Amino acid sequence: MAAAGEVTAKGMAAVAEAIRPGVSTWELDKIARKTFKLLKAIPAFLNYGGFPAGICASKNSVVVHGIPSKRNILKEGDIISIDIGAIYEGFVGDMARTFPVGEISDEAKRLIEVTEQCFWKGIAFAKEGCRLGDLSHAIEQNAKDAGYGVVRDYVGHGIGREMHEDPAVPNFGKPGYGVRFEKGMVIAVEPMINMGTWEVITDEADGWTVRTADGKLSAHYENTVAITSGEPRILTIP
């Protein structure tokens, strides 16, 4: 799992380096695929449930599952969420980041920062003996304190030989409830935070693209995290 996480992070680093005004999300996808090929890994998202690309590239009001396209060209002031996963020697890594394209507004910056902060607040409870609801609640509370909406229709997940395993890891919940974490469990923790409403809609034309219902910005931050007897091990941060 650690090796798969490392490979995933290398794919993300290669994509991150290419993000700038004028680049298309199709080019970013090509970079991810090329990087994984060199590392002898397989893009975990490609053909997953029929998804047609190696990464999800979700711009501005797109929450998740944006399909890379030659026509989708990044411009100054956009924010772009990249969700990327690799299968390496039979194990899967999964991570997401939201990047600024050039200079972005202060409110967009704050959304990106708070979304990452939600992850760290949550994984303070990714410890043996804590419950899933403790982690979920910490994420929800941090987002709500900032005045943001927490996406409810999409959640984190267990991860291992498959990308999506039990348990579901929601970004909202009740402290003291849910499965108790045990050493050796690996989960993908992924707050998806909206500037406005938590509600989302799926594009009917492509069947994939998930947008905020109010058209406001959304950010995403994800890592693959291993529960140990001490502090959690974050496998997708080198």
Residues that bind Mg ion (CB under 5 A): 94, 188
231 three-state secondary structure: coil
Nearer to Mg ion, 188 or 195 (CB): 188
- Provide the minimum distance between the beta carbon of 199 and Mg ion in the complex, in angstroms, as a whole number: 20
Residue 26 phi/psi, 5° resolution? Answer: -65, -40
82 three-state secondary structure: strand
- Provide the minimum distance between the beta carbon of 94 and Mg ion in the complex, in angstroms, as a whole number: 4
- Provide the minimum distance between the beta carbon of 96 and Mg ion in the complex, in angstroms, as a whole number: 7
Contacts for 123 with CB less than 8 Å, ≥ 6 apart: 135, 189, 223, 225, 232, 234
- Provide the minimum distance between the beta carbon of 58 and Mg ion in the complex, in angstroms, as a whole number: 13
The DSSP H or E segment spanning 43 is: strand 42-43
- Provide the minimum distance between the beta carbon of 198 and Mg ion in the complex, in angstroms, as a whole number: 18
**Rounded to an integer, what distance in angstroms lies between the CA atom of residue 139 and that of residue 45?**
25
Nearer to Mg ion, 23 or 208 (CB): 208
- Provide the minimum distance between the beta carbon of 192 and Mg ion in the complex, in angstroms, as a whole number: 10
Instruction: Tell the residue number behind the tokens 């997953």, with chain if given.
Output: 48
Nearer to Mg ion, 4 or 23 (CB): 4
Q: Where are the alpha helices (DSSP H) in the chain?
A: 2-18, 25-38, 106-123, 132-145
Residues in the chain, overall count: 238
Nearer to Mg ion, 23 or 36 (CB): 36
**Rounded to an integer, what distance in angstroms lies between the CA atom of residue 141 and that of residue 76?**
31
